Structure 1
Amino acid sequence: MRAGSRTSILLTLSLAITALSVSAVPATAVAPPLPGQVAAPDGTTPIPAVQGPLAVTAESYPFGAADHQEVPQDLSKLGYDEEEYLVSGTSNVYTWPTSGPAQVRTPDAPYTTRVLVRKPAKGQKFSGNVVVEMLNPSNLFDLNIGWAMAHEQIVANGDAWVGITAKPIAVDALKNFDAERYGSLSFANPLPLTDPANCSTVAADSSRTTENGLIWDIYSQVGAWLKSNDPANPLRYGSPTTRVEHAYGFGYSQTGGFLVNYINGVHPLVVESDGEPVYDAYIVAVAGGAFAGAYPMNQCELAPPADDARRQFKDVGVPIMRIMSQSDYLRGIGSRRADSDVPGDLYRHYEMAGAGHATPDELIFSASSEDIIAAGRSVPPASCNEGPRSRFPSSIFFNAALRNLDLWVREGIAPPRAEPILVRDGAPVLDEFGNVQGGLRSPFLEAPTSTWYGTATGASFCFIAGYERPLPQDVIDGLYGSHGDYVKEVKSSVRELEGQAFLTDYDARQLIKEAAQSKIP
């Protein structure tokens, strides 16, 4: 298995939060911009102040840098550069009524966070697309999951990828890792501890001195910066104006749930103020319904209930793909809705048959174990009681999804539709090999050699890691009379899926190559 082609998936466990009832308060006069911040005309999304790119030395480098991943990656061989920036501005803290978009609770709270940028080294190779991800903090440090899942398509198309530190608990890890480099980062709570609105009880991964709810305006402002003509914009490539044509929002598990809040609560505010959205489409990954389907808009209020309409998408105005895994689709079944090609309500819902939520690649493509320990965090286990985390290559689905999303936005080509995983009486319907029926298909289930499970037992996130159990040899021998028979079955599945646009051409070639090099049966 090629490590560079296998994507990882990680989840978040929603933390229980004791709510304090708060009332929305009207916004006060807008605070003056911070030094270097570009004041927004007529209340449009402001451009943050930017410091960087930060210097990189042997002693000081970005947390999660490509050449310091668990399995180091040489971006120069891909024709890519990596840069890190600090961005600062002011963010509103919002509350989210049961109907309508978010409302300002506390205005103009200063923040500073960091942004990791990977982009084509040469401007002529840049596609004009930037995938912007709120980095997943579920293990209490930043995980580069979007890059892990879709970097092959990002590189093949010449897209840029941008990751944003999105939560105070991840800021703490960064400061542990490199206090000098990250010392100015701040998600400070604008409310003093003596303010009754600063709730006395927060989630276990949170603090009363910080505010998780600053991320929403940060996400808007970073996207606006990348689309702006600001001299500090790394995607100008020396030209007078930005080279960005489209920004695509991406979130995975916890930050997939963050995207639900953003899309339904904040995206409408941006459209109202700016006349258009910052993000032109979204991929909401392994987050939906009762599974990471939404989060508290600020740390003093509860997340919307599992059956709340705020967890579902309707008439957002830009294309949305929601992609669930075999680990989470049952708990997230409330996120299911009909696909749509209606203008203003462009939507696809996919469920990856066989795929686990948390796979090895979330670690392969993120900070090394040594750096995780230096950040004061525990290294997540790569194995569970049943064995190694599932090796199922979810990247094949995300590569195709990103390609199809871009075609939807640029050319109006509607993506393919797929049936959800088949469920009857609250349980999946299995085939004779113990694999689920329906869902996004692949040769791993169409030409089976294993049973694929979405859940395992053990520490940390094993309950959504999944695992693989090879079929008995006599079963495999009965399915495939020869190695050639097996390769033929794989080719048949791959060609059908590629023709339906569920696989990219490069993943199709790789799957056939791997089948040819295998020793099956």
Structure 2
Amino acid sequence: MSHDTNRRDPSAPSEEPETSDRRGLEQTVARRSVLAGVSGLVAGSAMVGSASASDHGNDVALPEMEGPIDGGSQTGNPQTAAVHDVESYGYTEEEYFFSGTARSDTYFGTFGGLADEDEYQTRAIVYRPEDEADFNGHLLADWSNVSTGIDMPVTWINAYEYLMREGYAVAVVSAQAVGVDTSSPIGDLGSGEGENLVAWDPERYGDLEHPGDDYALDIFSQVVEGLRTGGADDSSLGSTGSSDDSDPLAGLDVEYVLATGQSQSAGYMASLITDVQEEYGNIDGYLPAASAVTDYRDDLVPVLWLNTEDEAEGLFGDIGGGDPPDDSGQFRLWEVAGASHVNYWLSSWNAAMIARDFGGEDAEWDETAAGDFGTLEDGEYGDCGGNYFPARYAYSAALEALRTWVEDDTEPDDAPRIEREDGSVVTDEHGNVHGGVRLPSIEVPVAEYDARSCDLEGQTMPFDDDTLEELYESNDEYVAQFEDAVDDAVESGYLLGKDADDLLERAQDAELIDDSDGYWWQ
């Protein structure tokens, strides 16, 4: 059975995974996450109307754009460049610099008052289809997460397969000072130096400057505007200023802009939604991820908030938690059962990138191993070995739901919430949570997906042979149940066709139960 409804079918080569740095990376991410305790504390729905990129009229400034950038004293490529092969998808990867004068956040919305202004120069890594005919009209702007002290994408990593096979343009935007030119107060990758762009490669990035995170909202908005317009002064959308002749999207006609950010970056998404959207309106939909949400605007543009199980009880016990909000207006919340704040796919990708950019090693990236959900003989399971639940499929499905919502006004159905009792999530006899957005890996499980231990990493505890045989009796029965769960998830919109085929193939290859003696019905 094929569930493939997607456009592109790349065949990128697989390599052996880089494992020596992975655990350290996971622990680093877990220790250093600067989680937005106020990331969900945005203004309530006090105003009526819709502010979208097609009907706003305020003055977001156009930045100067320079690129593509090359050279440098490190790898000769952008820091945090892709470790996967983008060329096999028919894509290019280029880095551009953006500069201008940014307003401080006091200019926007509920902050009120006049704004300070300061100069900045930052960067974005831009991915686009080489063939204009493959472009779907959507630009995804991913606000880099700097919780580890360096500039890391998150949504791009979790959803790159979907984004490229569907023809998006993607910009990974360095919006915060820690990623650009400011030493992290949170920690380091081991050396204590050389994490931000300027320190890492002054030959390539020495001209970058960031006035501080009070200016981050406007910097991100200006980068989006430069990408959306190609640098042209678009008075119909209110953009002002000028740009040079550099067009990072090479003339692609951007019809819609989606913005995304995870964890502390989701806090900035909340501020963009609440305080910037009515002023600038150059973003058409938002995907904040993995962060507390307690109040929200549901009257501006579509917002699909994608949370993991980790956020259901509150992060570190005091950020978020409580009863989740209901879906309403242009707001939807997905709580992905089994998923942790930091998943194994994400941490494996980051480990390969860190080995290359900070260790001088080859970036070895194996999608087969990184995409495992607890079925491999040599998986790093057990105590704090990482959460193998395949949350990336939910990222792809959420982006597709947001795309169709923005493009066709097709609202997603209300999503079920993770079950809670007295502030704690409710689990079954195997330790897996009840309720929430459910993918086949938790509907037909082969492991306990503990999303809430080991700080933000979680862990995976594969079932023993007796439990597997009690649940499924044979591999054929396991696959049959898994296929039914795949069909249900596709029908619900939580799993896309191409991802369904990939996930089902992994289940078929698992061979979890010893059928060597056979059964009378085989």
The 3-state SS of whatever aligns with 2:279 is: helix
SS of structure 2 residue aligned to 1:448: coil
Query: Residues of 2 paired with 1:385 and 1:259: CA distance?
Result: 34
- Structure-2 change in CA distance of 1:477 and 1:42 (3 Å): closer
Structure 2 CA distance for aligned equivalents of residues 396 and 465 of structure 1? 18
C-alpha displacement of 1:166:
1.9
- Partner Cα distance (1:109, 1:335) in 2: 41
| Match for residue 164 of structure 1 among 173, 181, 185 | 173
Determine which of 209, 231, 241 is the counterpart of 1:186: 209
The superposition leaves residues 451-507 of structure 1 with CA deviations (integer Å, 9 ceiling, x where unpaired) of 1111333xxxxx011111112321111111111000001001000111121110011
Contact 1:452 1:469 in 2 (8 A): yes
Q: Would you say 1:422 and 2:419 are equivalent positions?
A: yes
String of CA shifts for 1:12-68, please: whole Å, max 9, x gaps. 334899xxxxxxxxxxxxxxxxxxxxxxx99611110111111257852100112xx
Indicate the SS of the match to 1:388.
Answer: coil
What is the one-letter code of the residue matched to 1:279? I
TM-superposed deviation, 1:333: 3.2
1:432-466 alpha-carbon deviations (Å, 9 max, x no partner): 21111000112222112111111333xxxxx0111
Q: List alignment gaps of at least 5 residues for structure 2.
A: 1-13, 17-24, 39-55, 182-195, 232-244, 315-319, 361-378, 514-522
What amino acid is aligned across from residue 450 of structure 2 in structure 1?
A: Y
Amino acid across the alignment from 1:441 = R
- Tell me if structure 1 keeps the 8 A contact 2:96–2:248: no
Bigger drift between 128-137 and 466-475 goes to 466-475
Q: How do 1:122-201 and structure 2 match up within 5 A?
A: 122-172=131-181, 173-188=196-211
1:265 pairs with 2:275: yes
Distance (whole Å) between structure 2 residues aligned to residue 15 and residue 410 of structure 1? 30
| 8 Å contact from structure 2 (residues 489, 495) kept in 1 | yes
Instruction: Give how far 1:364 is off.
Output: 3.6
Partner of residue 286, structure 1: 290
Q: 1:381-418 CA distances to partner (integer Å, 9 max, x unpaired)?
A: x9898142111111110111111111111112222332
156-165 vs 42-51, which moves further:
42-51
Shift in CA distance, 233/93, structure 1 to aligned 2, threshold 3 Å: same
Residue number among 493, 496, 512 corresponding to 2:485 in the alignment: 493
**In the aligned structure 2, how far is the partner of 1:429 from the partner of 1:148?**
30
1:219 Cα offset (Å)? 1.3
CA distance in 2, matches of 1:411, 1:398: 20
SS of the residue 1:508 aligns to: helix
User: C-alpha distance in 2, partners of 1:266/1:122?
Assistant: 33
Whether contact under 8 Å (2:36, 2:264) holds in the other structure is: no
Q: Say if 2:358 is the partner of 1:372.
A: yes
Cα deviation for residue 370 of structure 1 reads 4.2
- Range moving further from structure 2, 348-357 or 164-173: 164-173
Q: Please tell me whether the aligned partners of residues 256 and 285 of structure 1 are also in contact (alpha carbons under 8 angstroms).
A: yes
How far 1:160 moved relative to its partner? 0.9
Counterpart residue identity of residue 372, structure 1: F
Q: 1:47 aligns with which of 53, 57, 62?
A: 62
Equivalence for 1:339: 327
User: 2:71·2:204 contact (CA, 8 Å) conserved in 1?
Assistant: no
Is the contact made by 1:94 and 1:105 (CA closer than 8 Å) also made in structure 2? Answer: no
Question: Contact between 1:326 and 1:453, CA under 8 Å: does it hold in 2?
Answer: no
Return closer, same or farther for 1:120/1:328 CA change in 2, 3 Å cut-off. Answer: same
SS at 2:105's partner residue? strand
Q: 2:79 aligns with which of 63, 73, 80?
A: 63
Do the aligned residues in 2 keep the contact of 1:328 with 1:464 (CA within 8 Å)?
Answer: no
Structure 1 residues 43 and 412: alpha-carbon distance in aligned structure 2, compared to 1, 3 A threshold: closer
Cα distance in 1 for partners of 2:327, 2:127 equals 32
Match of 1:509 in 2: 501
CA contact (8 A) 2:37 2:292 kept: no
For residues 59 and 452 of structure 1, the distance between their equivalents in structure 2, rounded to whole angstroms, comes to: 37
Tell me the CA shift for residue 233 of structure 1: 2.4
Shift of 1:347: 1.3
Q: TM-score, normalised by structure 1?
A: 0.75
Is contact 1:81-1:119 (8 Å) kept? yes
Equivalent runs, 1:10-29 vs 2, <5 Å: 12-14=33-35
Q: Report percent identity of matched pairs.
A: 28
CA shift, 1:419, in A, is 0.9
Matched, 1:255 2:265: yes
The residue identity in structure 2 corresponding to 1:62 is P
C-alpha contact (below 8 Å) 1:143/1:362 kept by paired residues: no
Q: Is the 8 A contact 1:433 1:451 kept in 2?
A: yes
Pair 1:159–1:432, CA change in 2 (3 A): same
Contact 2:75–2:357 (8 Å) recurs in 1: no
**For residue 218 of structure 1, what is the amino acid of its counterpart?**
I
The structural deviation recorded for 1:316 is 3.8
Q: Is the 8 A contact 1:91 1:109 kept in 2?
A: yes
After TM superposition, the structure 1 stretch with the greater mean CA deviation from structure 2, 431-440 or 226-235, is: 226-235
Change (3 A) 1:336 1:472: same
Determine helix, strand or coil for the equivalent of 1:269. Answer: coil
CA shift, 1:423, in A, is 0.1
SS of the residue 2:229 aligns to: coil
Task: Give the Cα–Cα distance (whole angstroms) in 2 for the partners of residues 318 and 435 of structure 1.
Answer: 34
Alignment pair present for 1:454 and 2:451: yes
Note if contact 2:36-2:292 (Cα within 8 Å) is conserved in structure 1: no
Distance, in Å, in 1 between the alignment partners of 2:479 and 2:178 is 48
Change (3 A) 1:285 1:135: same
What amino acid maps onto 2:448 in structure 1? T
Q: Is the 8 A contact 1:129 1:247 kept in 2?
A: yes
| 8 A Cα contact 1:264 1:316, kept in partner | no
Which secondary structure does the structure 1 equivalent of 2:286 belong to? strand
Change (3 A) 1:221 1:491: same
Q: Which amino acid aligns with 1:318?
A: V
Q: Give me the whole-angstrom Cα distance separating, in 2, the residues matched to 1:163 and 1:223.
A: 10
- How many angstroms apart in 2 are the aligned matches of 1:369 and 1:234? 28
Distance (Å, rounded) in 2 between the aligned partners of 1:85 and 1:335 = 42
Look up the SS of the partner of 1:451 in the other structure. Answer: strand
CA distance in 2, matches of 1:403, 1:42: 28
Which range moves more in the overlay, 85-94 or 311-320? 311-320
Structure 1 match to 2:408: 411
Matched, 1:396 2:403: no
